[in-house]
Structure 1
Amino acid sequence: MNKIFSLFPFAMLLMLPVTAVQSQSPAQRTDIVSSADISKESKADEAHSFVEYKAVKAALQPYIQSATTGNGEVIRTAFYDHAHIVGSAGGVFNNVNLNTFAKNISGSGPSPDVKHHIAWIDISGPAAAAKVEFINWRGNRFTDFFILYKKDGEWKISGKVYDAHSNN
């Protein structure tokens, strides 16, 4: 008997009539937004988007340069002071502030043979995200995910999460 009553709410849902919206074809429905509606941009929007992409890419350059030089002071210029860096290397979880991260970069020394690739940058207003792949940074491969914010016309990194791949 208890089983019957526990199924009662579900059974009642099955008996509800189909509404007019549910019975309309996708072409008739007004609550569906098509990808064509979302992606409509003016030429000015497209030009601005390209400029912002280049600006975010430029904001990542001090970080990328520090991978080669091992200069923690240069890496600082890419980040907001409040930034946190989270990830793991050698199987050890790390959650450090910018000061500790900059010291770690300086202490590790240069990696003159490091290569990088900016896999993607995604921008929405003053917020952005980026993925950068590094290979041969002190002999390791890293994937870095950055969160950036544009304040007073300047893009800076607010936080970073990384994976050290086979060094985990």
Structure 2
Amino acid sequence: MSTSTAPRTVQLPSARVLVGGVYAVCVLAQLGVHTGDIVLTDKDPYHSEGPVESIIAISIFGTAALVIGVGLLLLLARTPAGARVGSFLLLALAVVTVVFFWSGAPGIFGACAAASAGLTRGGRPLAGSARVAGIIGAFFAMLNLVLTIGGLVLTPLIG
């Protein structure tokens, strides 16, 4: 089993910036919006699927994804063989959690997969299928960012 590296053509920000940015936008920004909804409106915050339920769900799923993703990244990315396994495992978690996209979980796992594959600044880029897993993980991270920002912008306009 070869763990060769490949040249990087597009450079993502550092792993800390990428994962932290996804968490900040997909989790913290949403928590801020829901908190603002409670503070600035007269609507009942405890209604079904209201701000309180959203804050609890986003906090739990988003933060759990951050802890699990970063934990696996730190544990597995020590060696090229471990980083290869990590990129596949983290991508699988991104795919499995796609039903929880509102919590930022797929984006966080995708960003961790990209970091594990060495696609972030300062990383050792892996070759082959591990690189593909990292690229798909980066796609999940960017897609989750776009969907979250779009949702935050469009929700007040349509509802």
Larger helix share, 1 or 2:
2
Same fold (TM over 0.5): no
Q: TM-score, normalised by structure 1?
A: 0.28
Larger strand share, 1 or 2:
1
* Structure number with bigger Rg: 1
Q: TM-score, normalised by structure 2?
A: 0.29
Higher relative contact order (CA 8 A, sep 6+): 2
